[in-house]
Amino acid sequence: MYFNKIPPAVNFIRQASNDQAAQRSSELTQLGEDVFRYRIESSQWEQKSQAQLNLDCFKDEQVRAQLSEHPHCGLTLQFKGHTLLRSFPQREFGTLGQKWAMSFEYNTNMRFYGLGEKNDRLEKTGGIYKFWNTDTIGDFGTTRVRTEPTDPMYVSIPYLLITQDVGCVGILINNPHATFMNLAAKENIANLLDAKDNEQQTIHLGAYDGTPEIYFIVGESPRAVTRKLQRLCGTTPLPPLWSLGYQQCRWGYRDLDDLEALDKKFDELEIPCDGLWLDIDYMDAYKVFTVVKDGFENHRRRIKALQDNGRKIVPIIDPGVKYSEGYPTFDSGRENDVFCKTSDGHIYSGFVWPGRTAFPDYSQESAREWWAKQLEQYTTEYAFDGYWLDMNDPSTGSAELEDMCFNHAQDSHSCFHNQYAYGMQQASRKGLSAAIQQKRPFILSRSGFISSSRYSAIWTGDNWSNYFHLKASINMSLNLSLSGIPFNGPDVPGFEGDATPQLAVDWFKAGFLFPFFRNHSAANTRQQEPWAFEDPYRQVIIHYIRLRYKLLPYLYHLFMEHADHGDPMLRPLFYEFSHNEPRFDQLEDQFMVGPAIMQAPFVHEGEKTRSILLPAGSWWDARSGRWLAKQSELNIHADLESTPLFIRDGSIVAMLPGERKSQQSDLSDIECHIFISEDYQAPATWTYRFDNGETVDAPQSRLTLQFKQEGESLMVTCQELALENKTLNIRFVTHGKFNELHLQKSTQCTKLLQEPYPIRLTGSTITAQATAPITFKDPN
């Protein structure tokens, strides 16, 4: 398959002139809330997508958009009297054999985002993209992957977000076959000549096969569209709290001796760490669902001891099953007829770590059930806490992929290639859930498809310890977040290559608040555990790990809000502020973590100074511990210890108390950091939600406070309180001019407070001394 070429619009035959057109029927459905489905039914195509889409989650009211179809001019999408999208004349829909495509007019007000996992710039105008899950190093080679953008990558989400001056639209192609998009690209010949003969640029999208099923999601803003996309595809279930902590992994950790040594070192240096991860070396001859015989003696006692100390154990799982008679997993799979076959009905063979391998056919429910049972039994035996799924693109070594067929060889490889990992995610989560009962499962996956967020987090695969990949990780994670995959993150400080101390520090500064935060390195590279770097670099890395833990209540709350509303954790600036402000359109080295925190890390080698764009309003500078004068741009100098981190005026941020030196985290014992400047006159409302961070359907506690200025005092009123068999201890810290905080009882919380009033506030920086803990108790 050509990765960098797609079928051009000029080769597609218009529907009206196609002999098969009479055998097709189009269906346009208003799903509610300005979400539409456009589908073409024909015996020419089959719908093989297994994505789980919620078609009945939208209300009939709130309709302000209109999508209409006309026999001779295709589709027109209007929003509040403005045309957002219109089919390109004579190219509204066309076919080329089994391929199909649609083209829309392009205007220069359009900006393009999303597209899932794409390793290039944030804004995509002028790009040509294909969606076909790859093993990037296997398919592109190390030289190119190290220093150049590669496309496609591991995850295929054929979703496009278009922002315009009035309204935004998301376009989702629900199709598991290879899909493609041309986003107003010029036809460059050897990067020198535009050969389009001044032809008008278009938005051209389609698929190589499969039923045309396209969703158009309309909204006022990127936020409105993204929330609806997440409702359609499914939000990320609330993860276990430990999965948001720091994770330590290396290709080379082999057994429990290695994990026990890590556990001891983290305790010795007082570095919080929730997860100890095992790469492929822990398996017996790389056979899935095995362990090395001489490395797991007394494994039940030893694993429990690690878990009792707060460490979770997460091994790698590959889909490739060693093709070997006498190996129980292979024998069971063959007996149950769950492996992919070639077109002539024999078990398909590829090559992964154990050599010749067979591959479970996750397109079949029976195969998913078989895999879930294998994983459940494995988990029961070893009490592992989660799994990371690798090589599920699928990666087959030198074996040609097209010979791997699905559904007992009835379906071609292209039908399920892009959703192979999705089936593995479903089965793995089911097996893990069965084994750990009411505890929340955690699955991490390299590849994925539409709706993967229901089952798995995504890490962005085999990256490099260099500044190219550091900078690219921001764009990649932001666009994944806009495409319905919010729980994601890169390996820090890079998987391949050797991280220098300064590079490692810059990676940790940039990545310490990404949704997923793991240190992972390849075999034959330098060690990159925090203690592998000399001081003062070591202490800086440790500081940012500890700072992540301090902010865990805030991060966890973002996941709770996502489950309810669909907002991602990582957000481009135009998500929180105006998408019509041109200076934010292509801003690639600044991003928001939720609504309150803005990061602007140094991501270029040797960079001494950088400029930062400041959205309107006041911002608290974590470097200086002061409020910045209102300005639109700020120039700052790099230093080893600090990173550009800013808090939005009017924000209330929940944190754990003190400096965090272990992974033990109690969400009912927090600091409430108040970032309200003297310029912020409106009341600020803060809602804090928490639970035990561990069990499925855990009861949630909730507190809502309103903060209002009165001179140099803050008046705080409790508006809502619902605590589930817990007390909530809060220490207040102010970052502003206020020296007193007056807590007021309300009619809803008459038995709330047991402390004297007013409370003296001290400190003005993030490390300031907090007040004594104040206990909130449910009046019921």
pLDDT by residue (tens digit) across 508-556? 999 999 999 999 999 999 999 999 999 999 999 999 999 999 999 999 9
Percent above pLDDT 70 for the chain: 93
Binning pLDDT at 50, 70 and 90, where does residue 763 land? very low
Rounded Cα distance, 555 and 699, in Å = 19
Contact 12, 186 (CB under 8 A): no
Q: Picking from 394-403, 417-426, 655-664, 766-775, which range would have the lowest pLDDT averaged per residue?
A: 766-775
**Which pLDDT score, from 0 to 100, does residue 581 have?**
86
Q: Are residues 370 and 327 in contact, defined by beta-carbon separation less than 8 angstroms? A: no
| Predicted pLDDT at 20 | 56
* Predicted pLDDT of residue 756: 36
Q: Identify the band that residue 194 occupies on the pLDDT scale cut at 50, 70 and 90.
A: low
> What pLDDT score does 768 carry?
41
pLDDT per residue as tens digits for the range 173-192: 999 999 999 999 988 776 66
247 within 8 A of 464, measured Cβ to Cβ: no
The yes-or-no verdict on residue 198 having pLDDT over 90 is: no
Q: What does the pLDDT read at residue 193?
A: 64
Mean pLDDT of 446-460: 98
More confident residue, 745 or 455: 455
- Confidence bin at 602 (pLDDT 50/70/90): very high
Average pLDDT over residues 4-10: 91
- Under the banding of pLDDT at 50, 70 and 90, the label for residue 749 is very low
The share of the chain scoring above pLDDT 90, in percent, equals: 83
Statement: residue 636 has pLDDT above 80: yes
φ and ψ of 231, to 5 deg: -65, -40
- For the residues 118-147, what does the mean pLDDT come to? 96
Give kind and range of the element (H or E) at residue 653. strand 651-655
Q: What is the pLDDT of residues 304-352, one digit of tens each?
A: 999 999 999 999 999 999 999 999 999 999 999 999 999 999 999 999 9
The predicted model gives 740-767 an average pLDDT of 49
Average pLDDT along the chain: 92
Structure tokens at 546: 């500890």
Helix, coil or strand: residue 522:
coil
Give me Rg for the CA atoms of the chain: 27
Q: In this predicted structure, which of 247-261, 474-488, 753-767 has the lowest mean pLDDT?
A: 753-767
| Model confidence pLDDT, tens digit, residues 662-717 | 999 999 999 999 999 988 989 999 999 999 999 999 999 999 999 999 888 888 88
- Can you give the pLDDT at residue 13? 84
**136-167 pLDDT per residue, tens:** 999 999 999 999 999 999 999 999 999 999 99
**Is the distance from CB of 320 to CB of 366 less than 8 angstroms?**
no
Return d(Cα 49, Cα 601) in angstroms, integer.
39
Q: What is the pLDDT of residue 777?
A: 62
Rounded to whole angstroms, what are the CA distances from 292 to 295, 297, 364, 692? 6, 10, 31, 35
Q: Are 671 and 655 in contact (CB under 8 A)?
A: yes
The pLDDT tens digits for 273-308 are 999 999 999 999 999 999 999 999 999 999 999 999
- Mean pLDDT within 220-230: 97
Average pLDDT score over residue span 483-496? 98
**Quick check: 42 and 222 in contact, CB under 8 A?**
no
What would the mean pLDDT of 419-429 be, rounded to a whole number? 98
Mean pLDDT confidence for 116-127: 96
Interval 598-627 mean pLDDT: 96
Averaged pLDDT for residues 570-575: 98
Average pLDDT over residues 494-515: 98
- DSSP-derived letter for residue 506 is H
What is the structure's pLDDT at 762?
A: 38
228 residue type, one letter: K
Element at 544 (helix H, strand E): helix 537-550
pLDDT at 186: 86
Element (H, E) at 158: none
pLDDT (mean) for 459-467: 97
Distance between CA atoms of 226 and 595, rounded to whole angstroms?
15
State the Cα–Cα distance between residues 92 and 71, nearest whole angstrom: 10
Dihedral angle computed from the Cα positions of residues 432, 434, 437 and 440, in that order, rounded to the nearest 10 degrees:
40
